[in-house]
Structure 1
Amino acid sequence: MTRYDCMAILARRLTDELVVLSLGGSVDEWYDAAPHMRAASLFQQQLGCVTPQAFGLAAGLPHRRIVALDTDGGLLFNLGILATLGNEQPGNLLVVVWDNHCYQSIGGPPTHTAKGRVDLAAIARGAGVAHAHTVRDLDGFEAHCARGLAADAPYLLVAKVEPTVRAGIRRKHSDGREDKYIFVRHVEASEGITILGPSEHN
C-alpha cells in the first residue's frame, strides 16, 4: 500500500484534530491529501521530534484529538518517547508511523526495520503502549484509524508502506516558519486562547 492512499483514508475521518508531521515527501502528500487540514497541521518537524511534539500538544490540550504522522526513521531516532507514552497514557493521541524501511528523503538508505527483525509496534507495547499495531493493507489501516481516533488511551499504528512519493501532487509553497504561524493562529482561533501575543517594541 502507499502512504498517500493511507493519508487519503485518514483525512476523510478528520475534522477538528491537530496533526504533526515530519519532513520529506510526506509533507507534500499530506498537503495534497488533506486540504481541509492544512491550517491544523504542523509541517516539517525534525527527525525524532514528531511524536514528542504531538505528545506535548496532547498533554496541553487533553480535550482535543492529536494525530502524529511519524516515520520509521524518526521514531527510531527517539524511541524514548514510547516509554513516555507508556507512562503518561495520553488518551487523545493517535500515532501513525509510515514504515517504508528507508530514509527516503536522503536517498533511501535502509532503516533498522528493513531486515524484518525490528518490530516498532512490539517495542511500543513493551514500553507500555498497549494499543500498538502493524498493518499492511488499506482495509486494516482504515479499521485501526477508526479505533485509534476513538480510543481513550495512546494508540500507535505502524503502516507498512511502499518507499514511493506520489507524482503530480500539489506542492506546498510555505516554509517552516510560515507553517508555524499558520498552525499557531489556527490553534488560537479554535481554542479561544493566545499563544503568541503581539510583538513588543523597545
Structure 2
Amino acid sequence: MERIKALEQITKQLKDELVICNIGFPSRELYHVKDSSKHFYMMGSMGMASSIGLGLAIAQDRKVIVFDGDGSLLMNLGSLVTIYNQSPENLVLVVLDNECYGSTGNQCTYSSTTNLKKVAEGVGFKNTVFYQESPEVEIDFAPVLEMEGPVFVHVKVKAGNASVPVIPLEPPEIKERFMREVQGN
C-alpha cells in the first residue's frame, strides 16, 4: 500500500481527533487527501512529530493522532520512552514505515532490520498494532481509536512519494488555524 492510501484510509475514520503530521511529503499527502483545521502540517523539525503530539496530548483531552515516519522516529527514538513514561491515554502514534527517508531523497533507514513494533513493546507500550504492507488490506482504524493510549501503530507502506502539490498555506497560517481549533475558537 502507498503511504497516501494509508493516510486516506485512516483519515476517513477520524472525526474530532487532532492530527500532527510528519514533515515533507507525508504532510503534503495528508493535506491532499483530507485538509482540516484539526491537522497540523509540519514543515520542518524532522523527528519531532511524536514529541509535539505528546505535548499536545498532555495539554488537552481530545484524542491526538500523530503520523510519523520510520526515519523520523529513528531520529528521535527517545520520544518513545518519554511517551510511554508520560502515558497520555489520548495519544496514538502511527508510524508509516517505508524503510526510507522519503522527504530527503529516499535514503534507506534501518527499519528493514529493526522491528519498530517490538521496540515500542520493549519500551513498555501495552497497546501496539501492526498493519503489513499489502495493496488489498483495508485499514480498520476503529479498534485503535477505542484503545486506551498511548497506542503505537506500525504501518508498513511502499517506498515513494505521491505526486501532490506543495501545501498552499504558509507556516504561520497552519499554526494559527490549528491553534484556533485546539482552543475551540
| TM-score of the pair, normalised by structure 1 | 0.84
* SS of alignment partner, residue 46 of structure 2: coil
Aligned counterparts of 1:3 and 1:12: Cα–Cα separation in 2? 14
In structure 2, the partner of 1:4 is 4
1:142 aligned residue (136, 139, 142): 139
Task: Flag the structure with higher helix content.
Answer: 1
Contact 1:91 1:154 in 2 (8 A): yes
> Which residues in structure 2 correspond to 1:73-92 (within 5 Å)?
73-92=71-90
Aligned counterparts of 1:94 and 1:138: Cα–Cα separation in 2? 23
Contact 1:6 1:138 in 2 (8 A): no
Q: How many residues align?
A: 183
Aligned counterparts of 1:148 and 1:164: Cα–Cα separation in 2? 26
| Post-superposition offset of 1:170 | 5.3
Identity of aligned residues (%): 28
State the Cα deviation string for residues 120-150 of structure 1 (Å, max 9, x = none).
111111111121232113676623x222211
> Which residues in structure 2 correspond to 1:170-185 (within 5 Å)?
171-185=166-180
In structure 2, the partner of 1:129 is 125
- Are 2:24 and 1:24 equivalent residues in the alignment? yes
Contact 2:106 2:160 in 1 (8 A): no
Aligned counterparts of 2:183 and 2:21: Cα–Cα separation in 1? 19
Structure 1 or 2, whichever has the larger Rg, is 1
Residue 93 to residue 181, structure 1, CA distance change in 2 (3 Å): same
- Are 2:55 and 1:56 equivalent residues in the alignment? yes
Aligned counterparts of 2:23 and 2:62: Cα–Cα separation in 1? 24
Structure 1 runs of 4+ aligned residues shifted over 3 Å read 137-141
State the Cα deviation string for residues 51-105 of structure 1 (Å, max 9, x = none).
11111111111x2110000010111111111112222221111111111111111
Residue 172 to residue 65, structure 1, CA distance change in 2 (3 Å): same
Opposite residue 10 of structure 2, the aligned amino acid is L
Residue 87 to residue 138, structure 1, CA distance change in 2 (3 Å): farther
> Which residues in structure 2 correspond to 1:182-197 (within 5 Å)?
182-189=177-184
Aligned counterparts of 1:76 and 1:50: Cα–Cα separation in 2? 12
State the Cα deviation string for residues 161-193 of structure 1 (Å, max 9, x = none).
1112223x4542112222111111121225xxx
* SS of alignment partner, residue 105 of structure 1: coil
- Are 2:159 and 1:163 equivalent residues in the alignment? yes
| TM-score of the pair, normalised by structure 2 | 0.91
* SS of alignment partner, residue 19 of structure 2: strand
Contact 2:117 2:128 in 1 (8 A): yes
Opposite residue 73 of structure 1, the aligned amino acid is G
